[in-house]
Structure 1
Amino acid sequence: MVLRAGLIGLGMMGRHHARVMREMDGIELVGVADAMGDPHGAAGKLPVLSSVDELIDTGIHVAVVAVPTQYHEGVALQLAGAGVHTLVEKPIAHSVEAGRRMCHAFAERNLVGAVGHIERFNPALQQLRKRIQDGELGAVYQIATRRQGPFPARIADVGVGKDLASHDIDLTAWIAGSPYASVSGQVAMKSGRPHEDMVLVTGKLENGVNVNHVVNWLSPMKERLTTVTGEKGTFIADTMTGDLTFYANGTVDVEWESISSFRGVAEGDVTRFAFAKREPLRVEHEAFRDAVLGLESDVVTMEQGLHTLEIVEAALESAHSGMTVRIAQH
């Protein structure tokens, strides 16, 4: 079966969605919509429609929503009402309440509702998760992430917490296989915008792993790193390059007296792994397609996207109150 697909939102992410959808097996891009036009020429030969209703009228089975976050709920609810399986860019919505309404709408109609947490499909993180599951790190002690870079002028409706920290919160729980138990947050607002442009999050997962996230739009240096420290060493995943490196705990005796007196971990071998590096967006789309077709899939569900948003809002609440926030488990 070939799924007739629609895309709403032709901005920076929308153009990439359009390209990937055109190249995929089992998908035919039959309609695109954006009330603001098509600044990147993503529509190709397709007419640029101006509304969700027009897009639905093209007879689509599936849709991708790549509009600003504040419009996610309204667009998704229209698509759910029309019986269209939908992949919404992250975060799922501008608020937890909106996300809950979206989850309910898709579940009620037995539709696939997914969220574009693309880092789960990054080859470095997929390799990292598999190797941790295979026991190559032993017990996991800590997961720390850094996601920094210049402010993107296209983001105006949410702060860096919901836009970027949601990546790290989602991938951390996914890698560790455990939900968050508690979070504490700090924020800064330095760019004159109504939303935070820096957020620092510390927390603990239900399985006892300590976590730390450094996220901002204030750095001229772009950085996307995930560091996992455990019993047998440390993995570092760079999701900009797709590289994964393992720093093993040392097993060789150290003869230098000033170092050997330290009773902690010694340096061991360093391994940079070679593996296939497929485009994460393509792998994400394949997972969504397979979920719609009823095949085995690791698509990120709306329920999972909602849980991530709950953690982000808890961290922002902590920054406001100065108190650690315990996370209620569903």
Structure 2
Amino acid sequence: MVSTTTPGAAPLRAGLIGLGAMGRHHARVLRELDGLELVAIADAGGDPHGVAGSLEVLPDVEGLIAAGVDVAVVAVPTAAHEETCLALASAGVHVLVEKPVAASTEAGRRLVVAFDEAGLVGAVGHIERYNPALQQLRARIEQGELGDVFQVATRREGPFPARIADVGVVKDLATHDIDSTAWVSRSRYERVAAETVHRSGRPHEDMVTATARLSGGIAVSHIVNWLSPAKQRVTIVTGERGAFVADTLTADLTFYANGVVRTEWESVAAFRGVAEGDVTRYAIPKREPLRTELEAFRDAVLGRSAQHVSLAEGLATLEVAEAMLASAAAGRTVELGG
């Protein structure tokens, strides 16, 4: 494992496999980050977005390993995650793999074991965790600004992404919300119930509506689809002092406070609920989430911090996603292990 470096040390030699929709962005950011040098890229399908520059496009992971990389980003289709990551682990390479961590929980567990036994950093690209709005939301909840958290509701909708062919909307999109919900609330999923819809003629589901319960009694709902012309990415966290609304498309965070003005209108005052209070939209720094994510991976490899999404966390998210699919198939609530 690469140890913590000192000022002036050589940058980590970085490799990238998969030059599709996400891979092209990884290539750009890897070239821009201090402490990393993109030295090798690979994709059996070539370079559709023209990001290789002066680098040879290698055909496979073996070519990437032969280039002598210290770290690698894996942005190949989900079905190839396990084989690709295991090859890199065997070669002593630290890996950030795009979400979901693997095609199945069994494959995900094998990756966790392989990287743990090799003493390597394995990270998962749950990029929404690095969205400025959600990072601010988690920090403000941690500081007690919301009080106790009662409910998390997410809505993630938009047109069908032609790049996705091997998984459905649950493993592709809902995993964003599963990971960010557990992370923001610092809670784990205890049970989940879901309904899926198949409308596009593909073998995988296009829509899911799910409800869940987190540790501590937090109620959760997720609405996810890729058949809507209106793109939405919203997370609402409601607690004892009001509600936070995070729009991750614009990276905006707004707080709707419970009212504190006492009403003298008897029929309204008798209602034991909340009233409208102040509304605040925060001015927050807006850094590119992918840059923040790759910096966290680099720093984990260098032993500076542990702000990456670990393989174990990615596996926990995948377990919830598979529980959603099992619930929809069986028509019942699925309990998750502690």
TM-score by structure 1 length?
A: 0.98
What does residue 242 of structure 2 align with? 233
What does residue 284 of structure 1 align with? 293
What's the CA shift for 1:255? 5.5
Render the CA deviation track for 1:77-96: whole Å, top value 9, x for unaligned: 11011110000000001101
Q: SS state of the match for residue 277, structure 2?
A: strand
* Cα RMSD, aligned residues only: 1.1
Given candidates 170, 173, 177, the residue that maps to 2:179 is: 170
Given candidates 61, 64, 73, the residue that maps to 1:55 is: 64
Gaps of 5+ in 1: none
Given candidates 17, 24, 40, the residue that maps to 1:15 is: 24
What's the CA shift for 1:264? 1.3
The number of aligned residues is 329
Render the CA deviation track for 1:304-323: whole Å, top value 9, x for unaligned: 00000000000110111111
CA distance in 2, matches of 1:60, 1:17: 16
What's the CA shift for 1:253? 3.2
Given candidates 209, 225, 228, the residue that maps to 1:219 is: 228
1:141 and 2:112 correspond: no
CA distance in 1, matches of 2:317, 2:295: 22
Render the CA deviation track for 1:95-131: whole Å, top value 9, x for unaligned: 0111111111111100101100011111100000000
Render the CA deviation track for 1:184-229: whole Å, top value 9, x for unaligned: 1110000000000001110101111111100001110000000000
1:120 and 2:129 correspond: yes
What's the CA shift for 1:263? 3.0
Q: SS state of the match for residue 200, structure 2?
A: coil
Identity of aligned residues (%): 66
What does residue 322 of structure 1 align with? 331
What does residue range 61-72 of structure 1 map to in structure 2 within 5 Å?
A: 61-72=70-81
1:264 and 2:273 correspond: yes
What's the CA shift for 1:257? 6.5
Given candidates 178, 198, 211, the residue that maps to 1:202 is: 211
CA distance in 2, matches of 1:101, 1:177: 25
Gaps of 5+ in 2: 1-8
Given candidates 54, 62, 67, the residue that maps to 1:45 is: 54
What's the CA shift for 1:254? 3.8
What does residue 253 of structure 1 align with? 262
CA distance in 2, matches of 1:132, 1:187: 31
CA distance in 2, matches of 1:46, 1:119: 30
1:78 and 2:70 correspond: no
Q: SS state of the match for residue 221, structure 1?
A: coil
Given candidates 121, 127, 131, the residue that maps to 2:140 is: 131
CA distance in 1, matches of 2:200, 2:261: 49
Given candidates 13, 28, 43, the residue that maps to 2:37 is: 28
What's the CA shift for 1:147? 0.4
Letter in 2 for 1:40: H
What does residue range 72-111 of structure 1 map to in structure 2 within 5 Å?
A: 72-111=81-120
CA distance in 1, matches of 2:249, 2:320: 24
Q: SS state of the match for residue 12, structure 1?
A: coil
What's the CA shift for 1:262? 3.4
What's the CA shift for 1:42? 1.2
What's the CA shift for 1:44? 1.3
Q: SS state of the match for residue 314, structure 1?
A: helix
CA distance in 1, matches of 2:21, 2:35: 24
What does residue 161 of structure 2 align with? 152
CA distance in 1, matches of 2:266, 2:36: 64
What does residue 189 of structure 1 align with? 198
Render the CA deviation track for 1:155-207: whole Å, top value 9, x for unaligned: 00000000000000000110111111110111000000000000111010111
